[in-house]
């Protein structure tokens, strides 16, 4: 079930609390911040697993929840990174028939991935040690996007990035819980506000993963359906937190809409470069993101 056109309307009534004594995650609460494993937290978890996009007001309420914020050590992240090429090789071999149908050469792809098995062009930093941390710190802290304990993997190799992380310049992971960024974008002197907003986006992802905890893998598996990803509860939280950050800097709705359009163009390519099915998905994702922009600016 998807809310679609009803995104800008109140979500109250979309899901009922377990009893009249329990607090609905969709209703404004004057109670103290909910603690882990409270009835309120349990209701929120049930609601998020329904996987509907949240309104901006619901996003704001979600971000006020207490979360355990459990993150991996530097050693665990280094072990994960060393294993990335091997996992990519296994996945390619597993999908051999699909790769061949799309015109790919499995042996060439495996050889390319194999070149990075001794990859070392990376650094693991505490998030507060990022070069431009002070530009986003106050916003994150004011909105309960707790970054304490977050370690960020900074990749300094564009070829590696293209092979394993694609067109976007930042990623978040839930196994392990981390943020991965391109050094050539986020550690440059002239980094833009729009680029830095992706750090806010990824921190919001980590907050979501940490909240669902043991249910995260189950949840992520359910988001992989075609045309669903942007409309998930997870992405509605991450994108609206990101857009709200840009709004807090005085960015106009028009400039943020243009930024969102550029992101979609970069992700999918120009219309003349993609087929009809891809163009349809592209337009639907752009329309959904524009709804998130409207949610934040017209709450």
Model's pTM, two decimal places?
0.85
Tell me how far apart the alpha carbons of residues 219 and 65 are, in angstroms, rounded to a whole number: 19
Check: CB of residue 140 under 8 Å from CB of residue 200: yes
Contacts for 227 with CB less than 8 Å, ≥ 6 apart: 281, 284, 285
pLDDT tens track for 100-156: 988 889 999 999 999 998 899 999 999 999 999 999 999 999 999 877 889 999 999
Percent of the chain residues past pLDDT 90, beyond the cut: 57
3-state secondary structure of 6: helix
Tell me how far apart the alpha carbons of residues 114 and 102 are, in angstroms, rounded to a whole number: 21
Question: Of 43, 34, 120, 57, nearest to 85 (Cα)?
Answer: 120
Check: CB of residue 219 under 8 Å from CB of residue 52: no
Task: Using pLDDT thresholds of 50, 70 and 90, give the confidence band for residue 55.
Answer: very high
């Amino acid at each position: 079930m998807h809310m679609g056109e009803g995104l800008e309307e109140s979500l109250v009534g979309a899901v009922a609390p377990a009893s009249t004594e329990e607090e609905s995650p969709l209703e404004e609460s004057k109670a103290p911040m909910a603690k882990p494993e409270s009835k309120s937290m349990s209701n929120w978890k049930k609601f998020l697993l329904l996987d509907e996009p949240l309104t901006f007001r619901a996003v704001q309420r979600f971000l006020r929840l207490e979360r355990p914020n459990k993150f991996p050590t530097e050693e665990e992240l280094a072990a994960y990174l060393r294993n990335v090429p091997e996992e990519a090789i296994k996945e390619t071999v597993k999908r051999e028939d699909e790769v061949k149908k799309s015109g790919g050469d499995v042996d060439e792809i495996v050889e390319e991935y194999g070149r990075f098995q001794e990859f070392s062009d990376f650094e693991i930093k505490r998030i507060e040690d990022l070069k431009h941390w002070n530009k986003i710190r106050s916003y994150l802290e004011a909105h309960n996007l707790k970054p304490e304990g977050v370690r960020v993997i900074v990749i300094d190799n564009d070829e590696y990035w293209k092979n394993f992380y694609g067109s976007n310049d930042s990623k978040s992971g839930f196994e392990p819980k981390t943020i991965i960024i391109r050094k050539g974008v986020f550690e440059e002197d002239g980094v833009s506000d729009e680029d830095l907003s992706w750090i806010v986006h990824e921190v919001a992802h980590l907050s979501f993963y940490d909240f669902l905890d043991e249910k995260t893998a189950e949840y992520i598996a359910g988001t992989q359906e075609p045309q669903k990803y942007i409309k998930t509860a997870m992405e509605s939280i991450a994108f609206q937190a990101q857009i709200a950050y840009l709004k807090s800097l005085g960015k106009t709705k028009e400039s943020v809409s243009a930024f969102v359009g550029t992101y979609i163009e970069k992700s999918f390519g120009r219309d003349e470069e993609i087929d009809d099915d891809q163009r349809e998905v592209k337009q639907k994702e752009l329309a959904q993101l524009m709804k998130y922009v409207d949610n934040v600016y017209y709450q």
